[in-house]
Amino acid sequence: MKWFVMLVILLAAGFVGLVAAGENGWDRGPLVITPEGEQKLVLRLDQAVRVADPGLSWIIPGLEKADPFDVRWNDLDSEPNLMQTRDGEQLTVDSYVIWRIEDVEAFRRSFQENRKRAVSRIDRVMRDGVREVIGRHTLHEVLDEKRGAIMKEITEKTRENVKPLGIAVADVRINRTELPDATMESVYARMKTERGRLARKTRAEGEENARKIRADADAEARVIVANGHREAEIAKGQGDAEATRLYAEAYGRAPEFYAFTRSLEAYRKTINAKTTLVISPDSEFFRFFESASGGR
């Protein structure tokens, strides 16, 4: 039992020693511990043989070594650069890229273990992509109309160019875009001219619509008035016809009374306090002024 306990203790101590050696360096023991967010490239006589993922792995002491590579996502903020759009405008563009090591073997082959060289290369590729894509678009498209599509195109181009280097790109974004003073004045003048043109066009269209509305209203008014006159004439004609019918009916029933009432109406409309008539006394007009005996 004592020998068994001592054996367990020795094995545990050996294991701890291997772990400690693996943590302190590749050449201190056969056990390699790779933490989360890191990969290790196992080299045999300086030739890559395999990749150790996070966790425990083994190497052959004295023959193999394990080089660590940080494979977590990193952000690279590029310095502002002056770029030109398709319509000849100057822009100061500040951009950044989100990247990480995707293929440690390709990354080591491209940059050895010099991470600064890799960062410099990524920055240059990103700036070239931004300059190329912006150069194929107008200032208005870059600032507003196609900004999302431009960002996507820049990301795809940068991702494609750095992939053979063992680098993955998640996104490329433009932090801000600034116009130089000369460009700003030029853009302002062009915007003012464009807005003036649009204002004149809008006013002209408004005046044309107003003339059309007035013309339509006048035509509709003339139609309404004409219809009103027509209906009035129809109603007047119908009234006159009805009056004539009533007069004829009344005359047929009592011709003398009809003649009497018509004459009275004629007297009322013709004679008043200021009327002076010069007419023969025996005129038919005064027929109903005669007395019952026939005198005037």
Q: What is the DSSP letter of 144?
A: I
Q: Select from 138, 146, 124, 166 the least CA-distant residue to 39.
A: 166
**CATH for 74-185, among 3.10.450.630, 3.40.50.970, 3.40.50.1220, 3.30.479.30?**
3.30.479.30
Q: Which 3 state secondary structure label does DSSP give 78?
A: coil
Q: What is the DSSP letter of 143?
A: I
Overall average pLDDT of the 245-256 stretch: 75
Distance of CA 49 to the CA centre of its chain: 53
How would DSSP label each residue in 177-191? EE--HHHHHHHHHHH
Overall average pLDDT of the 123-148 stretch: 87
Q: Select from 101, 118, 99 the least CA-distant residue to 40.
A: 101
- Cβ atoms of 34 and 53 closer than 8 Å: yes
Taking the C-alpha atoms of residue 44 and residue 110, their distance in angstroms, rounded to an integer, is 18
CB 144: neighbour CB atoms within 10 A? 8
Among 9-13, 84-88, 107-111, 201-205, where is mean pLDDT lowest? 9-13
Higher confidence at residue 47 or residue 270?
A: 47
Taking the C-alpha atoms of residue 188 and residue 275, their distance in angstroms, rounded to an integer, is 86
pTM summary value: 0.54
